[in-house]
Amino acid sequence: MSTNSINKIFGAALLVAGTCIGAGMLALPVSTAAAGFYPSIAVFVFCWLMMILSAFLMLEVSLWYPEETNLITMAKSTLGTPGKILAWFTYVLFFYALMTAYTSGAAGIIAKGLSYFGISEDWGIWILVSIFASIVYLGARSVDWVNRWLMLVLIGSYLALVMNVVPKVSSHLLSGSMPKYLWTTGPLLVTSFGFHLLIPTLKNYLHHDVKSLRLAILFGSIIPLMVYILWELLVLGTVPVSGERGLVAILHAEHTTGKQAVIELTQLLSEMLHNPKITFFARSFGLCAILTSFIGVAIGLFDFFADGLHIKKTAVGRLWLAFLTFLPPILFAIFYPRFIIALHYAGIFAAILLIILPALMAWSGRYRLQATGYRVWGGKPLVLIILLFGLAVIVLEVFNRLGLLPTPLTQMHLFY
């Protein structure tokens, strides 16, 4: 394998990792705290395994088609018009909601710096999007290199967080467990390993090289798994679960959003460990996590529109694609930020797009259309298992929304 090939695999793996790791990762321990450290890790690994298998199914389907083919053509070819409509609706709604959230979150951080010069947050949005739209316009190679630098800062910030927190970890705080509280976290963990819609873009970037693609997907997904597990260890090993300032209290605070949970958690860590540097490192990590997810989602949406609307990637075509990718999220972020309420149902969108659609397309392509080429091991049983997993995620999300799943109380004594 040449140096150039290894370099591109490395870049592709970082794109996978960067797309998975968002700023919301910092709040993962808040959502899983009541279940305990060891049950949470078991579910992390299980969800990662299911998601990596569904990603390989997406890769299998993607490799049946030529370069520049994305989800719409894949769904239409294997599942007909109903598959095409389902892919269009869920993809656009979900990705525009993500783009709006990332645009608003990153622009808000940038706006704090601009406020010293009397510049409003709206300008922060336009500056952010202008920079990243230009990068995406130039193509996957430019996205790869920018993402590498962002990941470098992200990893540096994360390691600094780890070094400042790990000496304070208590094994006593990690010992308890109440697995019944994990039911509500399944859909969240699925979205935390959601990079599948980037696979058609990676296929183009790595020119159908199956071995390179499999390595990039595998190692790129292992990075967030390790990052999540270590962060879970640090937070659950230093912050009490119950009590007025415990992790469950942060979860239940009526005003708490995902972003607010991150802020409260990092402030609490800073105070408990008497280390104000934690807040700085967490904010640096959070900004880079937003931007790596933002650029990964953006390049995926860019290629999705190119395929779905049959827009050639000429200079003018790329300009239209950039407008379609970035302009609606800008308008939503400025004029209708409540659009991100769609993310309340992220588990359902993720289950359909990242699990159910790949399984259905693989089944139809293999056993109805008799497609040949790279095939994921496991045959029909594996595809059925992945399909059932996706349906289970939807059921859990619905039950959670209806308040039918066990929820910890703020003042309860969970395990000690």
Query: Has residue 367 got a pLDDT over 90?
Result: yes
- Residue 8 is encoded by which pair of tokens? 């591109």
Instruction: Output the furthest CA–CA distance in the chain (Å, rounded).
Output: 63
CATH number assigned to the domain comprising residue 198: 1.20.1740.10
Q: Does residue 292 belong to any structural domain of this protein? A: yes
Question: Over the stretch 264-312, which tens digit does the pLDDT of each residue have?
Answer: 777 778 877 778 888 888 878 888 888 898 999 999 999 999 999 999 9
Distance, in Å, from the CA atom of 355 to the CA atom of 303, rounded to the nearest integer, reads: 20
Q: If DSSP codes are grouped into helix, strand and coil, which group holds residue 313?
A: coil
Identify the helix (H) or strand (E) that includes residue 175: none
- Residue 7 is encoded by which pair of tokens? 């370099």
- Between these two residues, 338 and 3, which has the higher pLDDT value? 3
Distance, in Å, from the CA atom of 195 to the CA atom of 292, rounded to the nearest integer, reads: 12
Q: Is-contact 98 258, C-beta < 8 A?
A: no
Least trusted range by pLDDT, from 121-125, 152-156, 194-198? 121-125
> Could you write out the three-class secondary structure of 178-245?
CHHHHHHHHHHHHHHCCCHHHHHHHHHHCCCCHHHHHHHHHHHHHHHHHHHHHHHHHHHCCCCCCCCC
pLDDT band at 253; cut points 50, 70, 90: low
77 forms beta bridges with none
pLDDT band at 347; cut points 50, 70, 90: confident
Q: Does residue 374 belong to any structural domain of this protein? A: yes
Q: Does residue 413 belong to any structural domain of this protein? A: no
Q: Does residue 211 belong to any structural domain of this protein? A: yes
- Between these two residues, 320 and 110, which has the higher pLDDT value? 320
Question: Over the stretch 92-119, which tens digit does the pLDDT of each residue have?
Answer: 988 898 888 888 777 776 766 666 666 6
> Could you write out the three-class secondary structure of 357-396?
HHHHHHHHHHHCCCCCCCCCCCHHHHHHHHHHHHHHHHHH
138-143: average pLDDT: 91
pLDDT band at 121; cut points 50, 70, 90: low
Question: Over the stretch 200-239, which tens digit does the pLDDT of each residue have?
Answer: 999 999 999 999 999 999 999 999 999 999 999 999 999 8
> Could you write out the three-class secondary structure of 48-59?
HHHHHHHHHHHH
Least trusted range by pLDDT, from 40-44, 275-279, 365-369? 275-279
- Residue 97 is encoded by which pair of tokens? 């909601």
- Between these two residues, 252 and 183, which has the higher pLDDT value? 183
Which ranges of 240-356 does DSSP label H, i.e. alpha helix? 247-252, 258-272, 277-308, 315-335, 346-350
Q: Does residue 11 belong to any structural domain of this protein? A: no
Q: Is-contact 9 206, C-beta < 8 A?
A: yes
Q: Does residue 220 belong to any structural domain of this protein? A: yes
36 forms beta bridges with 177
Structure confidence at residue 258 (pLDDT): 54
pLDDT band at 140; cut points 50, 70, 90: confident
Query: Has residue 158 got a pLDDT over 50?
Result: yes
Q: Does residue 24 belong to any structural domain of this protein? A: no
Distance, in Å, from the CA atom of 218 to the CA atom of 35, rounded to the nearest integer, reads: 28
Q: Does residue 136 belong to any structural domain of this protein? A: yes
- Between these two residues, 43 and 409, which has the higher pLDDT value? 43
Containing domain of residue 233, as a range?
33-401
Query: Has residue 256 got a pLDDT over 60?
Result: no
What domain count does the chain have?
1
